[in-house]
Amino acid sequence: MKQGQSHDQERYSLMEKIQMVDFALVDLTLYLDTHPEDTQAVQQFNQLAVESRDLKTVFEQKYGPLRQYGGSFSGYPWNWSDAPWPWQL
């Protein structure tokens, strides 16, 4: 039970890191849509895009694929459709 809880905790905190980086990417996307010539923002966007990919690779090795239609590799057997789904956590 205790082990399960710390496992959950680790999952949540890793997911939270992904959510933080991806949030910055969403917000920068909208900003750049109306400020396409902001060099610093473009640099930050590309840097965070790498960070996001790296974090997701680490998460997926432990908890399964995050990205649909080939955005992530599958385990065997097929584990994309495994629960939990986001609203079940």
Partner 1 sequence: MWFYEKKLQYPVKVTECNPRLAKYLIEQYGGADGELSAALRYLNQRYTIPDKVIGLLTDIGTEEFAHLEMIATMIYKLTKDATPEQMKEAGLGAHYANHDHALYYQNAAGSPWTATYIAAKGDPIADLYEDIAAEEKARATYQWIINMSDDPCLNDSLKFLREREVIHSQRFREAVEILKFEKDRKQFF
Stretch that binds partner 1, among 2-10, 43-51, 68-76 (CB under 8 A): 68-76
Contact by Cβ (8 Å): 21, 48 = yes
Position among 71, 73, 74, 75 found at the interface with partner 1 (CB under 8 A): 71
- 31 interacts with partner 1 by CB under 8 A: yes
- 27 interacts with partner 1 by CB under 8 A: yes
Contacts of 45 (CB under 8 A, 6+ apart): 25, 28, 29, 32
Question: Could you give the CA distance from residue 32 to residue 73 in angstroms, rounded to a whole number?
Answer: 30
Tokens standing for residue 19 = 């959510």
Stretch that binds partner 1, among 2-10, 43-51, 58-66 (CB under 8 A): 58-66
- 18 interacts with partner 1 by CB under 8 A: yes
